[in-house]
Amino acid sequence: MKITVIGTGYVGLVSGTCLAEVGNDVLCLDLDAEKIRILNSGGIPIHEPGLLDMATRNRAAGRLRFTTDVAEAVKHGLLQFIAVGTPPGEDGSADLQYVVAAARSIGRYMDGYKVVVDKSTVPVGTADRVRAAIGEELQARGLKTEFSVVSNPEFLKEGAAVEDFMRPDRIVVGADDARAVDAMRQLYAPFQRSHERFIAMDVRSAELTKYAANAMLATRISFMNELANLAEKLGADIELVRQGIGSDPRIGYQFLYPGCGYGGSCFPKDVQALIRTSHDAGGELVVLRAVEEANEAQKRVLGRKIVRHFGDSLSGRRFALWGLAFKPNTDDMREAPSRAVIADLLSRGAEIAAYDPVAMDEAKRIFGTEKRVSFAESPSAALDGADALVIVTEWKEFRSPDFDEIKRRLKAPLIFDGRNLYDPAQMRAAGIRYHAIGRL
């Protein structure tokens, strides 16, 4: 099938590349000329495991191309995927200006039937706005060309997005006409050969499904973080509690790991947008407001633990910080807990030596002018002369370090662990003072 993907950000680039991988003819459009230059020269502007190799392979095969030419892109695909950004506005609502602009471009240049697919995470009712924008452009041209608008939300985890797209848990498609549903079934047939994953529904239900999924996952995380904080006060071990409740099949083990808060481009933005959507509809999502408040507070937990140990002033103190990305296998630092931890430490006069396997360039962009933040070439190098080690992201390479080396390089054997990577009993046996989240 001929497919156009508008937007070569995270969702657009992963979707376009994976659709090309199964044989489709994909043309990706972006108005950012520098981004298209990078893509056409063999690079990719994001870090995602497996994506570069897949993009290179399909680019060489001629199935994946990139352009800034709007007319060419609209003409190309029967399916027009809108995968542009929807950044949060000041009131928490999703900013749909790029979605509407993409829709207008389609209406301005389409010359035959198109299936317009909202792939971006958008509020309920966005399909109506997309349909209206296209209709206005067609009317201005004096045309009555048929088109369909479909909601096809993405469920991609950063760090595992290629795997998630190629082997999806579910394929949610919201559409109001059989012709569009049939086109989407044909498109996704290669991704569900073993069993049916295609869930067809009305457009508004599909739009709400995406927000509901991320809000539920964020709720589980904040719930466990709240329990972990309570466990500390009660002298209980949250890891044992996690095992006890996770063994219940109605609950399960996923997303029950306490830590120093969630971040990234999805959970914070989508929770805020759903809260705003409810407010605009005359309702109030009390639970989600609590989820958001709990998460913002949880990002400050490590800072509070450090102050409790060293005192209010951290002037003259130096901290090794392992992990800058909001989660492993990505360089994304949007809303990352590390930013809150660094801000807390800097505000009290501390210096920081940070290390992350892939997010160093992004961190330098964010903190490049801050003289008290330095960047180490390795986890070990960050430790030299530090008063303590602070762990913020659970990268695999941090799971089994040389604890004797940590003790040698630090001024004192002291670890503040925001991801509960180590066993407290083993840390005590190794002579390391260990402060985790909700552990005994």
pLDDT at 194: 83
**Which of the four pLDDT bands, split at 50, 70 and 90, describes residue 265?**
confident
Q: Is the pLDDT of residue 90 over 80?
A: no
382-428 confidence digits (pLDDT tens) = 999 999 999 999 999 999 999 999 999 999 999 999 999 999 999 99
266 is catalytic: yes
Mean pLDDT of 50-72: 97
Check: CB of residue 358 under 8 Å from CB of residue 383: no
d(CA 99, CA 103): 6
Half-sphere exposure of 351 (CA within 13 A, CB side): 15
d(CA 60, CA 58): 5
Q: How far is CA 379 from CA 159, 165, 259, 383, 422, in A?
A: 21, 32, 20, 7, 16
pLDDT at 96: 93
Residue with tokens 């330098």: 364
Alpha carbon 98 to its chain centroid, in Å, reads 19
H or E segment at 26? strand 25-29
Beta bridge partners, 25, equal 2
pLDDT at 405: 97
DSSP 90: T
Q: Is the pLDDT of residue 185 over 90?
A: yes
Q: Is the pLDDT of residue 87 over 90?
A: no
pLDDT at 93: 82
Residue with tokens 């997005």: 161
Nearest to 389, CA basis, from 296, 323, 344: 323
In three-state secondary structure terms, 355 is strand
Global pTM reads 0.91
What residue type is 96 in one-letter code?
Answer: L
pLDDT at 76: 98
pLDDT at 22: 97
Give percent above pLDDT 70 in the chain. Answer: 100
Mean pLDDT of 66-75: 98
d(CA 233, CA 437): 11
pLDDT at 299: 98
Q: Is the pLDDT of residue 370 over 90?
A: yes
Q: Is the pLDDT of residue 132 over 80?
A: yes
Active-site choice (18, 28, 260, 266):
266
Mean pLDDT of 37-56: 95
pLDDT at 381: 97
In three-state secondary structure terms, 352 is strand
| List of residues 6+ apart from 217 with CB closer than 8 A | 255, 267
d(CA 133, CA 231): 52
d(CA 222, CA 394): 17
For the chain, the distance separating the N- and C-terminal CA atoms, rounded to the nearest angstrom, is 57
pLDDT at 89: 80
Beta bridge partners, 375, equal 354
Q: Is the pLDDT of residue 195 over 90?
A: no
- In order, the DSSP letters of 64-82 are EEEE--HHHHHHH-SEEEE
Check: CB of residue 16 under 8 Å from CB of residue 3: yes
pLDDT at 94: 84
